């Protein structure tokens, strides 16, 4: 890492987290980001205002608890941070109240070789990236 990139990554605090390798469905229209089932029991049972914190900025999204996904405001986070398919995000659950959830986010940029990018379909969770 060079040129201040060290500040982009930090050790996890031991709080619950999930990670996602972004696919087309995360970063292009419909902009769907579903929370993994192993996190569901930790989240409020009602739709909740959620803060995504990255570096020194925050973004407000709604967490729909019935479908366990972020609303369309997730698109603003994607756009502002120039996320693309193949990048990865780590979401660390820093605060979880009935009225507010806060995730601290780390972004890990992909520099996948072009021949691997073609293998990322991103249409469903059942289509994982396989590196042979």
CA distance 129 to 74: 23
Dihedral angle at the C-alpha atoms of 121, 127, 54, 67, nearest 10 degrees?
120
Q: How do strand 48-54 and strand 100-108 relate by DSSP bridges?
A: parallel
Q: In what order do the strands lie in the sheet with 88-96?
A: 17-21, 88-96, 100-108, 48-54, 57-64, 69-70
Given a cut of 90, whether residue 113 has pLDDT beyond it is no
pLDDT of residue 47: 97
pLDDT of residue 120: 58
pLDDT of residue 65: 86
Question: E strands within 10-124?
Answer: 17-21, 48-54, 57-64, 69-70, 88-96, 100-108
Given a cut of 50, whether residue 57 has pLDDT beyond it is yes
Name the fold adopted by 10-110: At1g16640 B3 domain (2.40.330)
Given a cut of 90, whether residue 48 has pLDDT beyond it is yes
CA distance 108 to 83: 10
């Amino acid at each position: 890492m060079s040129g201040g990139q060290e500040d982009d990554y930090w050790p996890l605090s031991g709080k619950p987290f999930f990670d996602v390798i972004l696919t087309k469905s995360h970063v292009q229209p419909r902009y769907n980001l579903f929370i993994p089932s192993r996190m569901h029991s930790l989240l409020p049972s009602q739709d909740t205002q959620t803060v995504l914190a990255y570096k020194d900025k925050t973004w407000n999204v709604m967490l729909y608890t019935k479908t366990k996904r972020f609303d369309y405001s997730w698109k603003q986070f994607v756009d502002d941070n120039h996320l693309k398919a193949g990048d990865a995000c780590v979401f660390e659950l820093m605060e979880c109240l009935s009225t507010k959830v806060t995730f601290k986010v780390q972004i890990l940029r992909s520099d996948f070789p072009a021949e691997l990018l073609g293998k990322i379909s991103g249409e469903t969770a059942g289509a994982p990236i396989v590196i042979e």
